[in-house]
């Protein structure tokens, strides 16, 4: 393993969207910038902003994080009353500038820009179908497929129809996870797949509308949360501040990715009516009920394990401590050459606090185990720091199946739980005991959620057909 991202055995995040409509032309890009900065945890590979000024679009997009790509000078050039932005994690397509979003194109009806979070499960079939019709692809992302499908459906409409009619027609043929911001010369559209697998919400600041993957970004720009975009809904924002909705694809069974609550979303977000912070604490409480143990301190693995650790401590009565320290200044491309330097690389990323764990029986709460190498390293660090016992608790069930909808759960041969028993995993990681969130308690972590939950990576029961 040469790259830090490989040694730091974690899921890749998803993507983040932020858009505004009917805002002061000089403020639009800065508002989107602040929103994307807040959503940076959802993707660090690339980012971009597109603005609409007098029915023409201007854009800047590049590999890198928001603070690296955008400067004061660049933002000042992006003037317009409407715009959309994107941070990318890159779950499909190669890592290159051409795949950075929003994607921008021109067709008969004018400019069109798209920002997409999720993965299509029928991507290969649609790519082949469009290719047979002579469509030329400039990127390797399935987001471009959505764009071409919308343009194709609009060509088929009588007199060209409207962009929202074309989106509705395309949604009837798309399969998988997609929350999307789409902008042409006169409108911004926000739409969500019928299962609602990826989040999207609406806020308002003054006379301007904002759309975001998470409510925390609305808070940062001073927007008041209005509501979530419903699964299957298309929301249309015009240049004058008007808002309308199409619900042709609403009403089916909803399946929000459960990892929004467990891992992906920021802890101060509220998604589909459920506080992420409360959901993670609930997971910790359930773990304490299902896997009690005599211990002296509970610690969480930063960051998404911290709230679950608090829940475990509250339920068990064991004091909550801070036993693992993460280095927040490591980039994802940090490279350590040579096998013998791997241990040093792990310590650069995370280290144990001896003052907290020495001579103690420690409960460690984390959000997931993918390949198992992270847990093994953390157990070793804690024992070297003097921990007498290390009891690992995981706030999700075991990963047994891959995800095809935008969360980077790899193939089964890469998943430790798909190939080893609980006891074998415990032995391999070196933990004294190991416990996962019980599968039958998953829904209990989000009792206030207005959407159902996708648990396919635990159960092999996918919310839409795989093609």
Whether residue 264 is preceded by a cis peptide bond, meaning omega within 30 degrees of 0, is no
pLDDT at residue 1 above 60? Answer: no
Give the active site residues. 15
pLDDT, position 297 = 98
Listing DSSP states for 359-416 in one string gives: TSEEEEEES--SSSHHHHHHHHHHHHTT-SEEEEEESSPPP-S---SSS----GGG-H
pLDDT tens, position by position, 160-170: 789 999 999 99
Q: Would 91 be classed as within a structural domain?
A: yes
Are 308 and 221 within one domain?
Answer: no
Domain stop point among 223, 254, 285 = 254
More confident residue, 42 or 338: 42
pLDDT band at 5 (very low <50, low <70, confident <90, very high): very low
CA distances from 84 to 66, 78, 173, 438 (A): 14, 11, 24, 39
Q: Would 267 be classed as within a structural domain?
A: no
Are 329 and 223 within one domain?
Answer: no
Q: Please name the residue that has the structure tokens 């979303």.
A: 265
Q: Would 2 be classed as within a structural domain?
A: no
pLDDT, position 370 = 87
CA 411/CA 367 separation, integer angstroms: 19
Listing DSSP states for 81-112 in one string gives: SEEEEEEE--SSS-SSGGG-SSEEEEETTEEE
**Mean predicted lDDT score pLDDT of the chain:** 91
Are 89 and 144 within one domain?
Answer: yes
pLDDT tens, position by position, 73-109: 999 999 999 999 999 986 555 556 788 999 999 888 8
CB 377 within 8 A of CB 404: no
Are 245 and 288 within one domain?
Answer: no
Domain stop point among 192, 223, 254 = 254
The 3-state DSSP class for residue 454 equals strand
Q: What is the mean pLDDT of residues 186-201?
A: 97
Q: Please name the residue that has the structure tokens 């394990």.
A: 305
CA 163/CA 186 separation, integer angstroms: 10
Q: How many domains does the chain have?
A: 2
Are 141 and 212 within one domain?
Answer: yes
Q: Can you give the residue range of the structural domain that contains 194?
A: 12-254
Q: Would 464 be classed as within a structural domain?
A: no
CA 345/CA 329 separation, integer angstroms: 13
Q: What is the mean pLDDT of residues 402-412?
A: 79
DSSP 8-state class, residue 301: -
How large is the greatest C-alpha to C-alpha distance in the chain, in angstroms? 76
pLDDT tens, position by position, 340-372: 455 556 567 789 999 999 999 999 999 999 888
Q: Would 177 be classed as within a structural domain?
A: yes
DSSP 8-state class, residue 305: H
pLDDT, position 90 = 61
Are 244 and 280 within one domain?
Answer: no
Characterize 57-96 residue by residue with b for buried, 16 or more Cβ atoms within 10 angstroms of its Cβ, and e for exposed. Answer: bbbbbebbbbeebbeeeebeebbbbbbbbbbbbbbbbeee
Are 194 and 320 within one domain?
Answer: no
pLDDT, position 160 = 75
pLDDT tens, position by position, 60-71: 999 999 999 999
Q: Would 1 be classed as within a structural domain?
A: no
Are 202 and 289 within one domain?
Answer: no
CB 362 within 8 A of CB 387: yes
User: What size, in residues, is the chain?
Assistant: 467
Q: What is the mean pLDDT of residues 415-429?
A: 95
pLDDT, position 333 = 38
More confident residue, 429 or 336: 429
pLDDT, position 304 = 84
Report the CATH number at residue 290: 3.40.50.2020
Are 75 and 142 within one domain?
Answer: yes
Are 225 and 297 within one domain?
Answer: no
Q: Would 140 be classed as within a structural domain?
A: yes
Are 241 and 282 within one domain?
Answer: no
Q: Would 3 be classed as within a structural domain?
A: no
CA 186/CA 467 separation, integer angstroms: 35
CA distances from 215 to 35, 177, 192, 342, 397 (A): 10, 19, 16, 38, 26
Domain stop point among 192, 224, 254 = 254
Are 316 and 235 within one domain?
Answer: no
Report the CATH number at residue 226: 3.60.20.10
pLDDT at residue 247 above 90? Answer: yes
């Amino acid at each position: 393993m040469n790259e830090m991202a490989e040694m730091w055995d974690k899921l890749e995040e998803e993507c983040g969207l932020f858009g505004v409509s009917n805002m002061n032309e000089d403020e639009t890009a800065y508002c989107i910038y602040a929103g994307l900065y807040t959503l940076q945890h959802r993707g660090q590979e690339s980012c971009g902003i597109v603005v609409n000024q007098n029915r023409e679009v201007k854009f800047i997009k590049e590999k890198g994080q928001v603070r690296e790509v955008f400067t004061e000078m660049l933002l000042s050039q992006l003037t317009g009353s409407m715009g959309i932005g994107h941070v990318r994690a890159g779950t499909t397509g190669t890592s290159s500038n051409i795949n950075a979003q929003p994607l921008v194109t021109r067709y008969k009806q004018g400019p069109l820009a798209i920002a997409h979070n999720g993965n299509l499960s029928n991507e290969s079939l649609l790519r082949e179908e469009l290719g047979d019709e002579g469509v030329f692809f400039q990127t390797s992302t399935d987001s471009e497929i959505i764009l071409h499908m919308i343009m194709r459906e609009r060509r088929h409409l009588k007199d060209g129809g409207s962009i929202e009619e074309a989106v509705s027609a395309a949604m009837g043929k798309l399969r998988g996870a997609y929350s999307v911001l789409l902008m042409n010369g006169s409108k911004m559209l926000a739409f969500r797949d019928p299962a609602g697998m990826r989040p999207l919400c609406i806020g308002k600041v003054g006379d301007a509308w904002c759309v975001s993957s998470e409510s925390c970004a609305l808070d940062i720009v001073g927007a008041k949360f209005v509501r979530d975009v419903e699964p299957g809904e298309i929301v249309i924002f015009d240049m004058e501040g008007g808002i309308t909705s199409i619900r042709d694809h609403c009403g089916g069974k909803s399946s929000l990715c459960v990892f929004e609550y467990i891992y992906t979303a920021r802890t101060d977000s509220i998604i589909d009516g459920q506080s992420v912070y409360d959901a993670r604490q609930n997971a910790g409480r359930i773990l304490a009920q299902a896997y009690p143990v005599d211990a002296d301190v509970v610690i969480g693995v930063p960051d998404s394990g911290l709230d679950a650790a608090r829940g475990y401590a509250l339920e068990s009565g064991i004091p909550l401590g801070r036993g693992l320290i993460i280095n927040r200044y490591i980039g994802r491309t940090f490279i350590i050459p040579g096998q013998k330097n791997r241990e040093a690389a792990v310590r650069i990323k995370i280290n144990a606090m001896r003052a907290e764990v020495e001579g103690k029986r420690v409960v460690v709460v984390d959000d997931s185990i993918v390949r198992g190498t992270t847990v093994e390293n953390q157990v070793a660090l804690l024992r070297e720091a003097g921990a007498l016992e290390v009891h690992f608790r995981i706030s999700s069930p075991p990963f047994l199946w891959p995800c095809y909808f935008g969360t980077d759960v790899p193939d089964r041969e890469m998943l430790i739980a798909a190939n080893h028993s609980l006891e074998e995993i415990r032995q391999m990681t070196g933990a004294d005991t190991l416990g996962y969130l019980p599968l039958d308690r998953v829904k209990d972590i989000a009792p206030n959620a207005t959407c159902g939950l996708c648990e396919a990576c635990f159960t092999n029961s996918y919310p839409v057909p795989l093609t």
